[in-house]
Amino acid sequence: MRYDAVIIGAGVTGSAIARELSRREGRFLVLERAGDVCEGTSKANSAIVHAGFDAEPGTMKARMNVQGNEMMTKLSEELDIPFKRVGAFVVCLDEGDMPKLRELYDRGVANGVPGLSILTGEEARKRESNLSDKVCAALLAETSGIICPFELTLGLAESAAKNGVEFRFGTEVQKIERTAEGWYVTTSQGEVEAQTVINAAGIYADIFHNQVCEKKLHITARKGEYCLLDKTAGSHVKSTIFQLPGQYGKGVLVSPTVHGNLLVGPTATDIEDKEDTATTPEGLAELQEKSALGVKNVPLRQVITSFMGLRAHEDGDDFTLGETAEGFFDAAGIESPGLSSAPAIGVYIAGLVADKLSLKEKAGFDPVRKGVPRLHEMNAEQRAAKIQENPAYGNIICRCEEVSEGEIVDAIHGILGARTLDGVKRRTRAGMGRCQSGFCSPRVMELLCRELGLTLDEVRKNGPDSQIVLEKTR
């Protein structure tokens, strides 16, 4: 089969582009080297929907950020995912830095960001009582929000698949070649032909760009370490608290999450190894030190897990978006605010491809995607009705997050169903609570075996090399 467009990468950017293309008539394919969507940069970030005051006016970052932010309320309703506009503060700790704070305000105004104001330290502390006593002023951005990056990416991908986009996992793109009629894409699972190729490969996007474009890109993997705190710490702040940006971004933030936890991070270190996702003692110590600058008494003894994510920093410090070779479209260098910008990037790139190929609007596009029902979000009457309809919803598997057998089974058999422990976790939150899978992982593994016809030694945490149970040997 020859496709109208092949998308490389099933992160939030690739999935957003896929969903927007699914509004058109055509054949579209997403190639992903991992075994699931949201396995790279999109799974490990700050989960912030930025307001858009940080990027330089006139850049793609600024344009996509503001547009993506505006789209998020409607999108979250269509995709059935949690999103809250909790606002954000950028705190100033020194009167001498006030010009930098005003510069951020002016930049936000130039970018078209609504709801910006500068508060005194006293005014800010009236809204956030745990702000540091050193805070002398703060920029308040009312439109900033928090979201679940897993659920956003899954929602976009499942919506795209529901509307006809094909996804192939475990399929690594190895080479791209121009032909007289389009593109020849060589993968680990065979060859694919397409009229156009869309490069949304995250930290590896420069590799594919440089195979076909005269003007080269260079992407550096910039690692950021995080700590996630228990839900008992989730109300320590009500809004996202940033510090004034430095050379490597906004510094360490402290933020609530949509699921009631508290998030601290990230660090920012450029590394050569694009596969290095290990946390370090030095990085975690930096989080402890820097988080205390803007927020006092952060309860770091309530950390339940730490993790590290990689951001795709392009040397030009902006998103690379558009047709950079004949029939080849880049969505490269997508670092922060990439999560916030993804919906707008999807519209932009899909629009360019649709114009290129003269694709018609699809009459039957359905924007609504329903996620797995959440037992813990139901009232008593709704729970009773759901359990009567499906008794498996009455069997709790994950006690920390109150996730039932029914939810896990539905996630396994969904439109892009879970095939691993992490796949179940991202779709249902089973294993994301205080015990971090200590109680529920054996039961989830049993369900994966039962529903997919696997043996225990075939169950994986995420990729093919993440075996959990080893076969007995003599």
Whether residue 291 sits in one domain with residue 392: no
Let me know: does 9 contact 32? Beta carbons within 8 Å.
Answer: yes
User: Residue 61: which of 267, 313, 353 has the closest Cα?
Assistant: 313
Whether residue 379 sits in one domain with residue 300: no
Whether residue 271 sits in one domain with residue 380: no
Whether residue 129 sits in one domain with residue 258: yes
Q: What is the pLDDT of residue 249?
A: 46
With respect to residue 64, please indicate whether it lies within any of the assigned structural domains.
no
The residue from 256, 281, 310 where one domain ends is 310
With respect to residue 248, please indicate whether it lies within any of the assigned structural domains.
yes
- The end-to-end CA distance of the chain, in Å, is 48
With respect to residue 348, please indicate whether it lies within any of the assigned structural domains.
no
Residues 273-301 have pLDDT tens digits of 998 989 999 999 999 999 999 999 999 99
With respect to residue 129, please indicate whether it lies within any of the assigned structural domains.
yes
The residue from 253, 285, 310 where one domain ends is 310
With respect to residue 412, please indicate whether it lies within any of the assigned structural domains.
yes
Total structural domains in the chain? 2
Which pTM was predicted? 0.96
Digit-by-digit pLDDT tens for the chain (474 residues) are 799 999 999 999 999 999 999 999 999 999 999 999 999 999 999 999 999 999 999 999 999 999 999 999 999 999 999 999 999 999 999 999 999 999 999 999 999 999 999 999 999 999 999 999 999 999 999 999 999 999 999 999 999 999 999 999 999 999 999 999 999 999 999 999 999 999 999 999 999 999 999 999 999 999 999 999 999 999 999 999 999 875 444 569 999 999 999 999 999 999 999 989 899 999 999 999 999 999 999 999 999 999 999 999 999 999 999 999 999 999 999 999 999 999 999 999 999 999 999 999 999 999 999 999 999 999 999 999 999 999 999 999 999 999 999 999 999 999 999 999 999 999 999 999 999 999 999 999 999 999 999 999 999 999 889 999 987 555
Q: What is the pLDDT of residue 248?
A: 43
Other C-beta atoms within 10 Å of 448: how many? 24
Whether residue 422 sits in one domain with residue 287: no
Q: What is the pLDDT of residue 472?
A: 56
Question: Starting at the edge strand that comes first in sequence, how are the strands of the sheet with 48-49 ordered?
Answer: 48-49, 145-147, 83-84
Residues 152-189 have pLDDT tens digits of 999 999 999 999 999 999 999 999 999 999 999 999 99
CA distance 173 to 32: 8
Q: What is the pLDDT of residue 247?
A: 46
Whether residue 400 sits in one domain with residue 279: no
CA distance 334 to 318: 8
Q: What is the pLDDT of residue 79?
A: 98
Segment (H or E) for 29: strand 28-31
Beta bridge partners of 325: 328
With respect to residue 471, please indicate whether it lies within any of the assigned structural domains.
no
Q: What is the pLDDT of residue 470?
A: 86
Q: What is the CATH number of the domain that holds 454?
A: 1.10.10.1100
Sign of CA dihedral 225, 228, 233, 238: positive
Whether residue 379 sits in one domain with residue 306: no
Q: What is the CATH number of the domain that holds 110?
A: 3.30.9.10
Q: What is the pLDDT of residue 251?
A: 66
Cis-peptide, bond into residue 337, ω within 30° of zero: yes
The residue from 259, 294, 310 where one domain ends is 310
With respect to residue 428, please indicate whether it lies within any of the assigned structural domains.
yes
CA distance 56 to 148: 26
Give the domain extent around 280.
Answer: 82-145+220-310
Q: What is the pLDDT of residue 145?
A: 98
With respect to residue 15, please indicate whether it lies within any of the assigned structural domains.
no
SS3 325: strand
Whether residue 379 sits in one domain with residue 243: no
Alpha-helical segments (H) within 261-371: 281-294, 338-357
Whether residue 407 sits in one domain with residue 278: no
User: Residue 319: which of 349, 283, 291, 284 has the closest Cα?
Assistant: 349
Let me know: does 242 contact 91? Beta carbons within 8 Å.
Answer: yes
The catalytic residue positions are: 50
